[in-house]
Amino acid sequence: MSDHPLKQIGEFGLIGRIQSWFNEETSDLLGIGDDCTVIPRGDDECDLVTTDLLIEGTHFLFDKITPEDLGHKSLAVNLSDIAAMGGQPKHVWLAIGLTDRADLPWLERFFNGMNKLARKHHVRLMGGDTTRSQKHLVINIMVSGTAAASQVKFRSSARPGDVLFVTGTLGNSGGGLQLLLGNHHNTEDPAERNLIRAHNRPDPAVNAGLWLGIQPGVHALIDLSDGISSDAGHVANRSGVTIALELTDLPIGADLRKVALKHGWDPVQLACSAGEDYVLFGSCDPDAWESLRVSYRKEIGAELHRVGDVRDRPETDAGGDPSESKPGLLSGGQVSYLKNGTPIDFNKHGFDHFKS
Amino acid sequence: MSDHPLKQIGEFGLIGRIQSWFNEETSDLLGIGDDCTVIPRGDDECDLVTTDLLIEGTHFLFDKITPEDLGHKSLAVNLSDIAAMGGQPKHVWLAIGLTDRADLPWLERFFNGMNKLARKHHVRLMGGDTTRSQKHLVINIMVSGTAAASQVKFRSSARPGDVLFVTGTLGNSGGGLQLLLGNHHNTEDPAERNLIRAHNRPDPAVNAGLWLGIQPGVHALIDLSDGISSDAGHVANRSGVTIALELTDLPIGADLRKVALKHGWDPVQLACSAGEDYVLFGSCDPDAWESLRVSYRKEIGAELHRVGDVRDRPETDAGGDPSESKPGLLSGGQVSYLKNGTPIDFNKHGFDHFKS
């Protein structure tokens, strides 16, 4: 689709167009263009709603993922969106378009994978739609959840001076995808198996999101689905700030380092742009950072990794990516990259379904 | 998919299997297997949620429907599900998987069609997902709404003695589909144009559903998406009753009669089994029927058509379609057909995506 106009405007440009076609005031509609829609409900409560459409051939290859893993992943990517708002997921709707290859035994295994993850996070299947698809398997999942209105975390809340952090290592999923696409992975190698598992069975940061949601020092929050380059761009544009990422601080695990060395990949490129890690990326008040880091380790039993800081947008920068500059929806911002504190030219974008 | 096991169990058999895989108690979950999920919300209020997945090649042919009509219809089928519970639709989420053929001008026209219907019924687009699809256009719409808990109308509430009614003529959409598939329709013939319009731009019975929802005499309610034979079967099974349909009373419009005569179709077969009419089918207390009919005409400005009555399930009938006999979810029932009051053998089933 090289001459397809959607390629020029990209996914977020398209969302801006859809907004303009609906000609709606967006200022009173929270969460448009964020991970979830936010619907206020009297008191301090709000509903969160997210939906993700997964289509065979675009989002997964039928022969490269087990039905259990696909069931798990389809739900996981939606739970991750609720986590990214600091919310508690509650209800799930599944609409599925089945091909001939997705027969009853396949479907039972798919539901087993989904059900295990649903039980782990106490979410419940409430309904949906089942139908046939001629060519490609289609899975649409919608998850609703709740959060205290005062604690919902938006992409637009990053402030100059904030410390930037991620809740886990980056690039594992991208490394796993490379192995699957290359058809030359060694299933005897635990490092390769781990990367493929990271790609096929991402672990949504539900508990981390809930905990970060109630920390007043945490400002912006987003989940890394498209790669930190792209997702940090969304935070930068929505918040009207510069996101400065220190490339040497990006957490890259031992498995990815080892496999990347073997195959001649650049792990930093994978960490920045491969996407689908489904860890959380956030910003926090610099004065709160130390205690946040310590409490997180104690409460969640894992590490927050500092990956950069938020800066003022340069005066001369009128707006960043013009496709994200719809009034009321998106404002200008930029992502800059540092190596050991020195700005470098590193222009790697994350994944966009229409641009890629 | 002649040897596909899903063909044997059908869509409702599949829903039963999904229930069993999730191993859930369904008794406290309202609306599973109905038109909408029903989520109680303190006081007398509940949320209604419905989702419909439309896939090119299964639900529509890209070249046989304008983008405006497809946008309209995608929303209409979901509004119809809310109407069938007696609810007020409020919020819409759209997930769309775009092929190369669905370019920006196409998409703008699609949204125009959807937006017009959304404005008419005061529902609002809240968010969604946009992505690419390699082969077939995919549209998933989710609509939420509200209703007073005491007024929600279920499929399971039909009682022996009830009068059965529909809110509009039957078979027009099926006639329109025949014309489109046959490729020989005469666009100069207003009757043929009307049938095609009924297929491509169904008018969801939102106001009728809201009004019927608050009438205590109305017991069961469902929308006719699969054809009255199939949809009456759902009411019969869920209510554990016999639905007796008087074929001579099925409302068939002048356009369908005329076009059916021309092409040699049986309009009663189309009315029973072609589906996608999106009128409401309900049951009401026989003592309330006359005043319901009169008030409906006065308030809604249209006719309720009496099409039969509800009877006890025969003692010898253990259960109807076994695929609908999951405990707590579906119970046995049957549909019988009369012609001028005399039972006849008329075994025409409505549409099932897996059986057809």
Q: For residue B231, what are its two tokens? A: 């949809």
What is the predicted pLDDT for the residue at B319? 46
Collapsing DSSP to helix, strand or coil, A175 comes out as helix
Q: Across the interface, do A18 and B111 touch by the CB < 8 Å criterion?
A: yes
Confidence at residue B170, expressed as pLDDT on a 0 to 100 scale: 98
Rounded Cα distance between A175 and A198, Å, is 9
On average, the pLDDT of chain A sits at 88
Q: Which residues contact B13 (CB under 8 A, 6 or more apart)?
A: B323, B324
Q: What is the DSSP string of B90-114?
A: EEEEEEEEE-TTS-HHHHHHHHHHH
Tens-place pLDDT, residues B200-214: 999 999 999 999 999
CB contact under 8 A, A103 and B4: yes
DSSP structural state of residue A18: H
Contact B220, B241 (CB under 8 A): no
Write the DSSP assignment of B19-60 as a string of letters. Answer: HHHHT---TTSBTTTSSSEEEEETTTEEEEEEEEEEEBTTTB
Does the pLDDT value for residue B1 go beyond 70?
no
Closest CA to A86 of A46, A114, A124, A40: A46
Whether B77 has a pLDDT exceeding 70, the answer reads: yes
pLDDT band at B228 (very low <50, low <70, confident <90, very high): very high
Q: Is pLDDT at A160 greater than 90 in this prediction?
A: yes
* A335 vs B324: which has the higher pLDDT: A335
Q: pLDDT tens-digit profile of B157-175?
A: 999 999 999 999 999 999 9
> How far B280 CA lies from chain A's nearest CA (Å)?
20
Domains and CATH numbers, chain A: 35-151 (3.30.1330.10), 155-344 (3.90.650.10)
pLDDT at B4: 55
Q: What is the pLDDT of residue B8?
A: 76
pLDDT of residue A354 exceeding 70, the answer is no
d(CA B327, CA B331): 7
Q: Is B288 on the interface with A (CB under 8 A)?
A: no
Q: Pick from B129, B146, B226, B354 the residue to mutate for testing the A interface (most A CBs within 10 Å).
A: B129
**Mean pLDDT of the region B103-107:** 92
Give the model confidence (pLDDT) of A247-301 as tens digits: 999 999 999 999 999 999 999 999 999 899 999 999 999 999 999 999 999 999 9
The whole-angstrom distance between A182's CA and the closest CA on chain B is 21
Q: Is B130 helix (H, G, I), strand (E, B) or coil?
A: strand
Tokens 């609306």 — which residue? B31
CB A74 within 8 A of CB A103: no
pLDDT of residue B3: 45
Q: A20-29, B7-16, B60-69: which has the minimum mean pLDDT? A: A20-29
Q: What confidence score (pLDDT) does residue A347 get?
A: 67
Helices marked H in chain A — which ranges?
5-22, 67-83, 104-120, 172-182, 190-200, 206-213, 228-239, 254-263, 267-273, 289-300
Tell me the two tokens of residue B52. 């419909």
Q: Do A107 and A171 form a contact (C-beta atoms < 8 A)?
A: no
Residues 6+ apart with CB under 8 A from B109: B66, B67, B68, B71
pTM of the model: 0.89
CB contact under 8 A, A58 and B24: no
Averaged pLDDT for residues A148-168 = 95
Structure tokens at A231: 């997702």
A187: nearest Cα among A259, A271, A274, A276: A259
Contacts of A62 in chain B (CB under 8 A): none
Say which of A4, A107, A126 has its CB closest to residue B37.
Answer: A126
As given in the structure block, the two tokens for residue B81 are 């599900």
Shortest CA distance from A47: residue in chain B: B47
Q: Give the closest-approach CA distance of A349 to chain B in angstroms.
A: 17
> Which whole number is the average pLDDT over B267-294?
96
Q: How would DSSP label each residue in A239-252?
A: HTEEEEEEGGGS--
How far apart (Å, rounded) are the C-alpha atoms in residues B319 and B317?
6
- Mean pLDDT computed over every residue of chain B: 88
Find the CB nearest A51 among B17, B21, B128.
Answer: B128
The answer to whether B18 faces chain A, any CB pair under 8 Å, is yes
The pLDDT of residue A67: 97
- Whether residue B48 contacts residue B148, with contact meaning beta carbons closer than 8 Å, is answered with no
Integer CA distances (angstroms), B284 to A205, A259, B34, B197, B299, in order: 50, 68, 18, 30, 17
C-alpha A183/C-alpha A61 separation (Å) is: 12
Q: CA-CA distance, B146 to A185, in Å (whole number)?
A: 51
User: Is the CB of B129 less than 8 angstroms away from the CB of A51?
Assistant: yes
Kindly identify which residue of chain B lies nearest to residue A109, measuring between CA atoms.
B21
Entry field: residues in chain A: 356
What residues does B91 pair with on adjacent strands? B124, B144
86-145 in chain B: CB under 8 A from chain A: 91, 93, 95-98, 100, 103-104, 107-108, 111-112, 115, 124-136, 138, 140, 142
Cβ neighbour number for residue A344 with a 10 Å cutoff: 11
CA A154, CA A210: separation in Å to the nearest integer? 14
Task: Name the residue among B11, B22, B97 with its Cβ closest to that of A130.
Answer: B11
> Is the pLDDT assigned to residue B224 strictly greater than 70?
yes
The C-alpha atoms of residue B266 and residue B76 are separated, in whole angstroms, by: 27
Return the higher-pLDDT residue of B17 and A285.
A285
Q: Does the pLDDT of residue A352 top 80, yes or no?
A: no
For residues A346 and B5, what is the distance between their CA atoms, to the nearest angstrom?
53
Whether the pLDDT of residue B349 is over 80: the answer is no
Share of chain B above pLDDT 70, in %: 88
Could you tell me which of B76, B143, B66 has the C-alpha nearest to residue B110? B66
Q: Quote the ipTM score.
A: 0.87
Residue in A204, A280, A298, A222 with CA at minimum distance from that of residue A35: A222
| Pair type for strands B45-55 and B88-98 | unpaired
**B22 interface with A at CB cutoff 8 Å:** yes
Given this model, what pLDDT does residue B354 score? 63
* pLDDT classification of B44: cutoffs 50, 70, 90: confident
Determine contact: A53 vs chain B, CB below 8 A: yes
Q: Which of A6, A60, A81 best probes binding to B when mutated, by most B CB atoms within 10 angstroms? A: A6
- pLDDT at position A228 is 95
Confidence of residue B346 (pLDDT cuts 50, 70, 90): confident
Sign of CA dihedral A32, B36, B279, B73: positive
Q: Could you give the CA distance from residue A113 to residue A56 in angstroms, rounded to a whole number?
A: 17
Please give the average per-residue pLDDT across A68-78, as a whole number: 97
Nearest to A251 by CA among A291, A306, A199: A306
User: Per-residue pLDDT averaged across B236-247, rounded?
Assistant: 95
**What is the pLDDT at residue A345?**
86
H or E stretch covering A48? strand A45-55
H-only helix segments in A59-189: 67-83, 104-120, 172-182
DSSP assignment of B154-222 equals: -GGG--TTPEEEESS-SSHHHHHHHHHHHT---TT-HHHHHHHHHHHS----HHHHHHHHT-TTEEEEE
- Residue A7 binned pLDDT confidence (cut-offs 50, 70, 90): confident
Q: Tell me how many helices (H) and strands (E) chain A has.
A: 10, 12
pLDDT of residue A315: 63
* CB-based contact B166:B246 (threshold 8 Å): no
Strands A241-246 and A305-312: antiparallel
Q: Cβ of A125 and B24 within 8 Å?
A: yes
Inform me whether the pLDDT recorded for A23 exceeds 70: no
Average pLDDT estimate for A198-207: 97
Q: Report, as an integer, the average pLDDT of B82-105.
A: 95
Q: Do B108 and A17 lie within an 8 Å CB cutoff?
A: yes
- Both tokens of A201, joined, read 């069975």
Beta-carbon separation of A22 and B103 below 8 A: no
The residues, any chain, with a CB within 8 Å of residue B301's CB and separated by 6 or more, are none
- Inform me whether the pLDDT recorded for A28 exceeds 80: no
Among A13-17, B21-25, B56-60, the minimum mean pLDDT is found in B21-25
Within 8 A by CB and 6+ apart from A8, the residues are none
